[in-house]
Amino acid sequence: MTPGSTTPPSAGARSVTVRVPAKVNVQLAVGPPRPDGFHDLANVFLAVGLYDEVTATEADDLRVTVSGPDAAAVPADATNLAARAAQALAARHGRETNVHLHIAKDIPVAGGMAGGSADGAGALLACDKLWGTGTGTDELLRICAELGSDVPFSLVGGAALGRGRGERLTPLSAKGPLHWVFAVADGGLSTPEVYAEFDRLAAGRPVPEPDPSPAVLDALGSGDPAALAAALTAIDGGNDLQPAALSLRPSLAATLDAGTAAGALAALVSGSGPTCAFLTADEPAAEAVAAALESSGTCRGARVARAPAPGAAVVG
Ligand code: C5P
């Protein structure tokens, strides 16, 4: 493939643009390590309204470019999940991967919000439309699962329970809008390292099989943020990876405290972190929590987003 740059796609050629949401794990119950190195999960995914846009444009060769404030932190090469998605789809249909993928990045990079997975799902859908390959949803979901544990959810969005390593999805009812705030940290955390830290912290103790909390699922269905916050408190915050993320990045405790002091109903590390997620009562509360986080000096910035958000969708 041709090395990427940060330039947008060339004008004139046919292109398709897909918008894909970020996610927060409202609950992330983690089981013991499996023989294949992954962990069985009960992963309550919720798509939130922060989006990347992936544009697939006809080209002579596979090329990836990235724009946005954190573009330099995104690999514009064959390791990018967007490139791997295009290659997987092309291989399925026995065709060339002659496409330029441009990622307009707004989801925090390596932040535990599935930004890389979003780009994989977005590229898959964009290439399928551009190439007219007409791949069915089940086949698209199979390719997503090969690309990564969170990629199938990026395609479907909304809210879903992920079992297995997170790729086996059952849709959940989620009423909105729920108003969230996300505190973006300086630098990312590596997902494999956070899972390894989870194993290290759990060594010598039995790890139960992961199950979703019925109270969390009920509260998600009712759309009542206070009930959801209470359900999360009852299960110690909801994210089993949080102690591992805090162990690797102790400064996140101050970020969580700052959002709670500013009135957040619940505060949790998003997935493997280091982004911290805050559930708030309504839009004014979300704006207030974001402003307090911005001035707290405990994070690089804060973003407000509503949930649930739709999955990957063609927008141009
Ligand atoms: O599937 P994905 O590529 O996102 O996983 C990245 C890494 O995160 C895996 O290699 C594994 O170390 C860890 N992981 C895990 N259990 C899961 C999902 C991810 O241990 N259910």
What's the CATH code of the domain at 190?
3.30.70.890
Reported residue count of the chain is 316
Confirm if 112 and 269 have CB atoms less than 8 A apart. Answer: yes
313-314 vs 15-33, strand pairing mode: antiparallel
Pair (166, 58) in one structural domain? yes
pTM given for the model: 0.95
Q: 250 lies in a domain?
A: yes
Check residue 58 and give its pLDDT: 97
Mutate which of 43, 45, 149 for ligand 1? The one with the most ligand atoms within 8 Å of its CB, which is: 149
Point out the ligand 1 atom lying closest to the alpha carbon of residue 148: 1
Q: 33 and 165 in one domain?
A: yes
- Atom number of ligand 1 nearest to Cα 41: 21
Is residue 190 in a domain?
yes
Q: Assess whether 107 and 215 both reside in one domain.
A: no
| 6 falls within a domain | no
Q: 262 C-alpha vs ligand 1 centroid, how far in Å? A: 33
Alpha helix ranges (H) inside the chain: 81-92, 115-131, 137-147, 151-156, 191-202, 214-222, 225-234, 242-248, 252-261, 283-296
Give the separation between CA 145 and CA 84, rounded to whole angstroms: 12
Q: Do 186 and 242 belong to one domain?
A: yes
Residue 58 burial by Cβ neighbours in a 10 Å radius (0-12, 13-18, 19+): middle
142 falls within a domain: yes
Ligand 1 atom, smallest distance to 150 CA: 4
Annotation says 23 is catalytic: yes
Does some domain include residue 289? yes
Contact assessment for residue 18 and residue 309, using Cβ atoms and an 8 Å cutoff: no
In short, whether 41's Cβ falls inside 6 Å of ligand 1 is yes
Q: Is residue 227 part of a domain?
A: yes
Asked whether residue 152 falls in the same domain as residue 184, the answer is no
- Closest-CA residue, ligand 1 atom 3, reads 148
Burial, 301: exposed, middle or buried (Cβ in 10 Å; 0-12, 13-18, 19+)? Answer: middle
The residue whose CA has the least distance to atom 14 of ligand 1 is 38
The tens-digit pLDDT sequence of the chain (316 residues) is 655 444 555 567 899 999 999 999 999 999 999 999 999 999 999 999 999 999 999 999 999 999 999 999 999 999 999 999 999 999 999 999 999 999 999 999 989 999 999 999 999 999 999 999 999 999 999 999 999 999 999 999 999 999 999 999 999 999 989 999 999 998 889 999 999 999 999 999 999 999 999 999 999 999 999 999 999 999 988 999 999 999 999 999 999 999 999 999 999 999 999 999 999 999 999 999 999 999 999 999 999 999 999 999 999 9
Are residues 167 and 34 both part of a single domain?
yes
Contact 116, 144 (CB under 8 A): no
Domain range for 229 is 178-306
Residues 6+ apart with CB under 8 A from 91: none
What is the per-residue pLDDT for 1? 64
Nearest to 99 by CA among 133, 140, 131: 131
Q: Closest ligand 1 atom, CA of 195?
A: 20
**Residue of the CA atom closest to atom 9 of ligand 1:** 192
pLDDT given at position 5: 45
Residues 27 and 93 in one domain: yes
Please work out whether the CB of residue 195 comes within 6 Å of at least one atom of ligand 1: yes
How far away, in angstroms, is 191 Cα from ligand 1 center? 7
CATH number of residue 50's parent domain:
3.30.230.10
Do 120 and 104 belong to one domain? yes
Q: Is the CB of 152 under 6 A from ligand 1?
A: no
- Nearest Cα neighbor of 148 from 191, 91, 188, 105 is 191
| Domains contained in the chain, number | 2
The CA-based diameter of the chain, rounded to the nearest angstrom, is 61
Among protein residues, the one with the nearest Cα to ligand 1's atom 19 is 38
DSSP class of residue 109 equals T
Query: Does residue 93 share a domain with residue 213?
Result: no
Give me the DSSP letters along 127-164. Answer: HHHHHT----HHHHHHHHHHH-TTHHHHHHBSEEEEET
Q: Which residue is catalytic, options 105, 150, 186, 224?
A: 150
- What pLDDT does residue 10 have? 59
Please check whether residues 167 and 260 belong to one and the same domain.
no
Ligand 1 centroid, distance to 162 Cα (angstroms): 13
1 located within any domain: no
Q: Are 129 and 123 in contact (CB under 8 A)?
A: no
Looking from the CA of residue 196, the nearest atom of ligand 1 is 12
Burial status of residue 3 (CB atoms within 10 A of its CB: 0-12, 13-18, 19 or more): exposed
Region label for 278, one of left (φ > 0), alpha (ψ between -120 and 50) or beta (otherwise) = beta
What pLDDT sits at residue 110? 80
Same structural domain, 51 and 165: yes
Burial class (CB in 10 A: 0-12, 13-18, 19+), 68: middle
User: In this structure, is residue 70 part of a structural domain?
Assistant: yes
153 with 193, same domain: the answer is no
How far is the centre of ligand 1, averaged over its atoms, from the C-alpha of 290 (Å)?
Answer: 30
Assess whether the C-beta atom of 149 lies below 6 angstroms from ligand 1. Answer: yes
